[in-house]
Amino acid sequence: MTSLTDEKGDECVPLKDADRSRITKEYGGRRRPLNIVAVTDGATDIRRRMRDIFGFPVTLILDWYHLCKKVRGYMSMISRNRDEKSAHLGFLIHHLWRGDTAEVLKYLKSEIIPKNKKRLTDLITYIEKHRHEIINYELRKSVGKTTGSGRVEKACDQVVGFRQKKKGMSWGKVGSRALATLKIAELNVRWDALWKIADRSEAANNCLC
């Protein structure tokens, strides 16, 4: 899904409007309310985009792999040695996997002698900020539902990363968006259809001349 852009690379139709139109097309005929859940990392921009698209708060789940990476990173700076880090992580990951943020916060505030007090405070703040997005991942996984946003990140790599983030590359807005749009068409098996549309458009312009 991409926004429509002009020859300067500026949006003709905002991405949020294009997304909203596609969602309405796919699900607008449903009689029952559509339950929307987004599994995402902690980025504020993603939350803003969700509000822009749907116009109301969306249920958010903090990506499990992002959460683990964040906690491991903080504990590397907080723990005084490798053994303490291993013990702390064992407890924290165990309880986070079950969504038990109360037990995690209690442990962080009372059971850790930090090497870096500021980083411990930062981790506590992070857990408190996202505690309503940290769920029982064990239960969610047991019923066959995803606990991470890996599919989306993989798609981003396919569209942008593999082609545009190689060593020494530098892209402008127009070129980056144009190449991403073409890659999306290829991945969606719309490559031939895209050029047929372009050919018809060119033919129509020639007729007008």
Lowest mean pLDDT segment, chosen from 34-38, 101-105, 142-146: 34-38
Look up the pTM and report it. Answer: 0.73
Quick one: 119 exposed, middle or buried, by C-beta within 10 A (0-12, 13-18, 19+)?
A: middle
Which alpha helices (H) appear in 98-170, and where do they start and end? 101-110, 117-130, 137-142, 150-156, 162-164
Higher pLDDT, 37 or 19: 37
Counting every residue, how long is the chain? 209
For residues 60 and 50, is the Cβ–Cβ distance under 8 A?
A: yes
Measured between alpha carbons, how far is residue 123 from residues 135, 146, 148 in Å?
17, 25, 20
Residue 135: band (very low, low, confident or very high) from pLDDT cuts 50, 70, 90: very high
Residue 2: band (very low, low, confident or very high) from pLDDT cuts 50, 70, 90: low
pLDDT exceeding 70 applies to what percent of the chain?
85
User: Across-strand partners of 39?
Assistant: 61
**CA–CA distance, 157 with 149 (Å, rounded to integer):** 13
**CA–CA distance, 28 with 38 (Å, rounded to integer):** 19
Could you say which DSSP state residue 81 is in? S
13 three-state secondary structure: strand
Instruction: Please give the pLDDT value at position 132.
Output: 95
109 three-state secondary structure: helix
User: Across-strand partners of 38?
Assistant: 60
Instruction: Please give the pLDDT value at position 141.
Output: 96
Residue 189: band (very low, low, confident or very high) from pLDDT cuts 50, 70, 90: confident
5: left (phi over 0), alpha (psi -120 to 50) or beta: beta
